[in-house]
């Protein structure tokens, strides 16, 4: 079955430290890949997406993610975390060539990020 796994339920980092959130997927072919962030009481905001091409993707708020086909992974990174980055992060996938009538996101269970001052 197709699935998305975020192995870390909760991560705590100190402000200024680097961050890596893990995401692995299990699909027949490489899907489209996304990272979303959800702050308390808010909806989801798209951080970045990967469709094809360069495997290192830059997003908003200083985030980047690297696609590794051999590992079926799409890990999110940030070199220096700010207190405002505390939130829940979701990896999501959509099968390639999806659009219109067959487009639906499959989400991982999320990783809650706590930032210590």
Partner 1 sequence: KAGVTQTPRYLIKTRGQQVTLSCSPISGHRSVSWYQQTPGQGLQFLFEYFSETQRNKGNFPGRFSGRQFSNSRSEMNVSTLELGDSALYLCASSLEGGTPLHFGNGTRLTVT
CB of 80 to partner 1, least distance (A): 26
Q: Which is nearer to partner 1, 48 or 81 (CB)?
A: 48
CB atoms within 10 A of CB 34: 25
CB of 85 to partner 1, least distance (A): 19
CB of 34 to partner 1, least distance (A): 7
Binding site for partner 1 (CB under 8 A): 32, 34, 36, 41-46, 49, 90, 92, 94, 98-110
Q: Which is nearer to partner 1, 5 or 15 (CB)?
A: 5
CB of 59 to partner 1, least distance (A): 12
Of 6, 16, 10, 28, nearest in space to 108 by CA: 6
Contact 67, 55 (CB under 8 A): yes
What span, in angstroms and rounded, lies between the C-alpha atoms of 81 and 33? 22
Contact 50, 65 (CB under 8 A): yes
Q: Which is nearer to partner 1, 3 or 55 (CB)?
A: 3
Residues 6+ apart with CB under 8 A from 8: 21, 22, 111
Q: Which is nearer to partner 1, 43 or 117 (CB)?
A: 43
């Amino acid at each position: 079955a197709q699935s998305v796994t975020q192995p870390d339920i909760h991560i705590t980092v100190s402000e200024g430290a680097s961050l890596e959130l893990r995401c692995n997927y299990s699909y027949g072919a490489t899907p489209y890949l996304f990272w979303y962030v959800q702050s308390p009481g808010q909806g989801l905001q798209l951080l970045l997406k990967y469709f094809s091409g360069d495997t290192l993707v830059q997003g908003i708020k200083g985030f980047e993610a690297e696609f590794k086909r051999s590992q079926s992974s799409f890990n999110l990174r940030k070199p220096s975390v700010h207190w405002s980055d505390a939130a829940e992060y979701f990896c999501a996938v959509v099968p390639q060539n999806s659009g219109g009538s067959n487009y639906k996101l499959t989400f991982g269970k999320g990783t809650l990020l706590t930032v210590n001052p």
